[in-house]
Amino acid sequence: MSTFPSFTGSKCEEDDVEYNKICDKHKHLLETLPKGGGWMEHHLYNYNGFWLSQMFLKASLLVHTYFKSEPTDIVLASFMKSGTTWLKALMFSTLNRDRYSFSNHYLHNNSPQSSIPFLEVNTYPMADFTTFSAPRLYSTHFARTLLPACMSSCKFVYVCRNPKDVLVSKWLFISKLRSKDLPPLSLDEAFELFCLGVSEFGPFWEHVLSYWRASLESPDKILFLRYEELKKQPEVVVRKLADFMGKPVTMEEEKKGVVGEIIKLCSFENLRNLEVNKKGADKFGKLLEVEKKEFFRKGEIGDWKNYLSEEMKDRIDGITEQKFQGSGLIGFSE
Ligand code: PAP
């Protein structure tokens, strides 16, 4: 059964030769990598085909150096604003369903973000993931090809979402986090950057394809989900998750309505209205703090219709069709 990570803090940055080498490499990369317009900060940096902020570029180097995966790990992977918070709650409560009662649950007093930590924000000192009992659960926004080779033996749950909803959700979210030293980012500017692929952890399409291709190669290792499918058929997806995580729903649990309890606990309305998710902030490493309420905005399919013009819709749909062509991946019609 999964438990929580601890942070050893045993290494001192100044004395750590290896860490200092990474800092030098990071500095060199910041000076030499192609730059693009940042959403939250001045710039993003194109590293091995993906756009990362300074902080996550360094995190990538640290993960490659320090992180040791276990074959039993289950990793939640997603592009930003694709349903990570929801999946964190669902995966945590599905895997740990013997541990908490639905009337007095961990998620009643703790945010979903705290239930499954991000790999890339726990990099130095590296979260001591070894104190997890198997299977360990953690999440990442990194594309599949940016992860260290050791992680190819892990299981992944990937959730993707209509890029038009992702764009709108991300623009509204980032507008609140954007550096106060920068002028506000207009929707037109965000749209242009998104279409060019210049978006934290993106391009969106290459991100999705990195996991899609891996899921075709190893369907038993990667469960590929869609936010829209989860909205429409949550029972089907929760059963799939339980099977995939090696804890199928039993006949007895079916009779007790356990699947329905998990869905109710993790529903947008329930999570958003919990006191714990209304106040305070989630901390992501040393540098990033986000008001918990920002993770619960509308939680709907198709809210992009309230923001994007017909022309914008056509352009994103065109890019999606072109990028996904021949991949076997069906686009997002809604
Ligand atoms: P992250 O990338 O910052 O971790 P992520 O959780 O992936 O964010 O996405 C947030 C979106 O999921 C928000 O979408 P919206 O802006 O279109 O509303 C948020 O409202 C939605 N969301 C959060 N929790 C749930 C939930 N339980 N059910 C459905 N949608 C949810």
Question: For the chain, how many structural domains are there in total?
Answer: 1
Provide the token pair at 26: 């990071």
Residue 133 and residue 2 in contact, taking contact as beta carbons nearer than 8 Å:
yes
118 with 141: CB under 8 angstroms? yes
- Inter-CA distances, 217 with 158, 213, 214, 268, Å: 14, 6, 5, 33
Q: Please work out whether the CB of residue 162 comes within 6 Å of at least one atom of ligand 1.
A: no
As given in the structure block, the two tokens for residue 191 are 């749209």
Q: By the 8 A CB rule, do 120 and 60 touch? A: yes
Q: Please indicate, yes or no, if residue 10 is contained in any of the structural domains.
A: no
Read off the pLDDT of each residue in 1-8 and give the average, rounded to a whole number: 45
Average pLDDT, the chain: 92
Q: Is the pLDDT of residue 326 over 50?
A: yes
Query: Per the residue annotation, which of 26, 105, 141, 207 is the catalytic one?
Result: 141
Do residues 66 and 126 lie in contact, with contact meaning Cβ atoms separated by under 8 Å? yes
334 belongs to a structural domain: no
Q: Could you report how far apart the first and last alpha carbons of the chain are, in Å?
A: 38
**Does the CB atom of residue 165 touch ligand 1 within 6 A?**
yes
C-alpha–C-alpha distance, residues 242 and 264, integer Å: 16
In a domain, 65, yes or no: yes
Give the model's confidence band at 16: pLDDT under 50 very low, under 70 low, under 90 confident, else very high. Answer: confident
CA distance 4 to 96: 12
* 141 a catalytic residue: yes
Distance of alpha carbon 11 from its chain centroid, rounded?
27
CATH of the domain at 43: 3.40.50.300
Q: Would you say the CB of residue 41 lies under 6 angstroms from ligand 1?
A: no
Instruction: Say if 220 falls within a structural domain.
Output: yes
Task: Give the number of the atom of ligand 1 that is nearest the alpha carbon of residue 88.
Answer: 6
- pLDDT tens digit sequence for 238-271: 999 999 999 999 999 999 999 999 999 999 999 9
Residue 244's domain comprises 19-324
Q: Whose CA is nearest to atom 5 of ligand 1?
A: 81
User: Is 38 a domain residue?
Assistant: yes
> Are the beta carbons of 105 and 225 closer than 8 angstroms?
no
d(Cα 220, Cα 278) in Å, to the nearest integer?
37
Whole-structure pTM value: 0.94
Q: Is the pLDDT of residue 8 over 50?
A: no
pLDDT at 107 over 60: yes
| Of 244, 248, 247, 246, the residue nearest 218 (C-alpha) | 244
What band does 12 get if pLDDT is binned at 50, 70 and 90?
low
Tell me if 330 is assigned to some domain: no
Distance set, CA 286 to CA 1, 123, 130, 186 (Å): 28, 10, 21, 28
Please determine, for residue 6, whether its predicted confidence score (pLDDT) is greater than 50.
no
Tens of pLDDT, residue by residue over 122-141, are 777 777 666 567 899 999 99
Q: Is residue 8 part of a domain?
A: no
Q: Give pLDDT tens digits for 288-311.
A: 888 899 999 999 999 999 999 999
107 vs 332: which has the higher pLDDT = 107
Give the Å distance between the CA of 81 and the centre of ligand 1.
6
**Does the beta carbon of 142 sit less than 6 angstroms from any atom of ligand 1?**
no
Cβ-in-10-Å burial (0-12, 13-18, 19+) of 81 comes to buried
Q: Is 179 among the domain residues?
A: yes
